[in-house]
Amino acid sequence: MREANDLDFKNAVRPSGVTLVDFGATWCPPCKALLPVIESLAAEYGERVSIVKVDTDESPETASSFGVMSNPTVILFNDGEPVEKLVGLRPIEVYRTALNRYV
């Protein structure tokens, strides 16, 4: 899992393939609850999916540019373009189903 900010976000998203970006904040309880889910997905998908974490407090420009209005928000990118946005904490199956559409 890679951390990205306003300065290096564009380099963090794969230009080809799938990238899952987890937008959250350190003070956010649902974001903390999402972390084991994201770690499980990272282990399950391995190199097939790049996982990026963005702190919305430290990277407000990136969060704003993708319409992130609440934490956590997960955005899936396929070939560098945003294709799905999942707002709020969801069961792992929801993330898995979304990823499977692109992997």
CATH of the domain at 77: 3.40.30.10
**36 phi and psi angles, rounded to 5 deg:** -65, -30
Instruction: Give the count of domains, the chain.
Output: 1
Mark whether 101 is an active-site residue: no
Q: pTM, whole model, 2 decimals?
A: 0.96
Give mean pLDDT, residues 79-100: 97
Among the listed residues 57, 83, 24, the one whose alpha carbon sits nearest the alpha carbon of residue 75:
83
Please state, for a pLDDT cut of 90, what percent of the chain lies above it: 99
pLDDT at position 88, please? 96
Domain ranges, residue 87: 2-100
Among the listed residues 68, 81, 89, the one whose alpha carbon sits nearest the alpha carbon of residue 23:
68
Stretch (H or E) spanning 62: helix 60-65
**How many alpha carbons lie under 13 Å from residue 45 in its C-beta half-sphere?**
24
pLDDT at position 96, please? 97
Q: Which of 31, 38, 63, 74 is catalytic?
A: 31
Mark whether 93 is an active-site residue: no
Q: What is the pLDDT of residues 28-55, one digit of tens each?
A: 999 999 999 999 999 999 999 999 999 9
Q: Which of 28, 86, 87, 92 is catalytic?
A: 28
